[in-house]
Chains A and B, each alone.
Chain A
Amino acid sequence: MRARVLVRPKEGILDPQGQAVERALPALGFQGVSHVHVGRLVELEVDDPARLPEMCERLLANPLIEEYEIVSEGS
């Protein structure tokens, strides 16, 4: 099964990459953009999607500073 995990900085943690992108967009003419966060995408083929949360907790994300979201599963 194909799965995608999105990892992003936890709410409340300073995200300078997100801020840098948020500042850069208006300079290119894009208005009305806010709350930008920059994270990571991990794509995988998994036999047992039930184990995805554990994979996230143990390796794919650092729960102290990151949130993860298992975005889609499907064959």
Chain B
Amino acid sequence: MKFGVIRFPGSCDEVDALQAAARVGDAVLLWHADRDLHGVDAVVVPGGFSYGDYLRAGAIARFAPVMEEVSEFANAGGLVLGICNGFQVLCEAGLLPGALLPNLSLRFVCRQVGLEVVDNDSAFTRACDEGQRLSIPVKHTTGRFYAPADELDRLEAAGQVLLRYAPGENPNGSLRDIAGVRNERGNVFGLMPHPEHAVDPLTGSTDGLKIFESMRTHVADRVLV
């Protein structure tokens, strides 16, 4: 299982994502200017402040050369995980529905939060139980998930909401407490919490590993089929 983690100018958590993915498979860095995904099985678009969050978070990164390859890869069914800024990039790129708005508090918030797995029938949450509580940190200023109400209804009905903030733990005002959504096809997933920062008992919880493990199992199954 080979993960590719993109590095944009301004990415901060790409090395952390690389280290987390390396606990579960092989992991390489993908340079933003290269149009080569090096045969990875899954792409991780990491957290940070790509391009300084200039204009809008993720607005410039979505046009990086590597992102064209990622779009094709996604359209062909490849797995793509967007974490925090990565989620923002995928929404801007149209690979995920909705958009991320400034936190209601208008402040950066770094906090360990409780999440609920809404749906475990996905490549990214199959290693979890439905309804399972995960403890994973968030750290962002622009994490309030938004989509028009009818779109939200549709996403929920279609099982595209995979993670919600546990009651009372919504740190940013996301509508319907949505913490992470997948695309219709189920191969692209974005979440504001940082699973790569929940993989080592020394530095926190290890609940984040389940997301990477889910992806590895999914890829392994596909190979078998």
Residues of A within 8 A of B (CB): 9, 13-14, 16-17, 20, 40, 59-60, 62, 64-65
A65 CA / B58 CA spacing, docked (Å): 14
Is the beta-carbon distance between A59 and B98 smaller than 8 angstroms? Answer: no
CB A18 to nearest CB in B, in angstroms, measures 11
What 1/0 flags go to B100-129 for Cβ under 8 Å of A? 011111100000000000000000000000
Is the beta-carbon distance between A62 and B98 smaller than 8 angstroms? Answer: no
What 1/0 flags go to B115-157 for Cβ under 8 Å of A? 0000000000000000000000000000010110000000000
CB B108 to nearest CB in A, in angstroms, measures 14
B173 cross-chain contacts in A, Cβ below 8 A: 14, 16
Given contacts A62-B99, A64-B98, A64-B99, contact A17 B55 (CB under 8 A): no
What number of A-B contacts does a CB cutoff of 8 Å give? 32
Nearest A residue (CB) for B148: A64
CB B128 to nearest CB in A, in angstroms, measures 29
Per CB-CB distance, the 6 closest pairs between chain A and chain B, nearest first, are A65-B99, A64-B99, A16-B104, A16-B106, A62-B99, A62-B56
Nearest B residue (CB) for A60: B55
A40 CA / B142 CA spacing, docked (Å): 16
Q: Is B59 an interface residue, CB under 8 A from the partner?
A: yes
A65 cross-chain contacts in B, Cβ below 8 A: 99, 101, 146
CB A35 to nearest CB in B, in angstroms, measures 18
The secondary structure that dominates the A interface is mixed
Nearest A residue (CB) for B104: A16
Residue from A16, A40, A62 within 8 A of B102 (CB atoms): A16
A14 CA / B173 CA spacing, docked (Å): 10
Is the beta-carbon distance between B106 and A20 smaller than 8 angstroms? Answer: yes
Is the beta-carbon distance between B55 and A59 smaller than 8 angstroms? Answer: yes
A16 cross-chain contacts in B, Cβ below 8 A: 102-106, 173
CB B180 to nearest CB in A, in angstroms, measures 18
Q: Is B213 an interface residue, CB under 8 A from the partner?
A: no
B55 cross-chain contacts in A, Cβ below 8 A: 40, 59-60
A64 CA / B105 CA spacing, docked (Å): 22
| Contacting residues of chain B (34-70) with chain A, CB-CB under 8 angstroms | 55-56, 59, 63
B101 cross-chain contacts in A, Cβ below 8 A: 9, 13-14, 65
Q: Is B92 an interface residue, CB under 8 A from the partner?
A: yes
CB A10 to nearest CB in B, in angstroms, measures 9
Residue from A17, A59, A60, A62 within 8 A of B106 (CB atoms): A17
B103 cross-chain contacts in A, Cβ below 8 A: 16
Can you sample 12 A-B contacts with CB below 8 Å?
A9-B101, A14-B144, A16-B103, A16-B106, A17-B102, A20-B106, A59-B63, A62-B56, A64-B98, A64-B147, A65-B99, A65-B101
CB B171 to nearest CB in A, in angstroms, measures 14
A64 cross-chain contacts in B, Cβ below 8 A: 98-99, 146-147
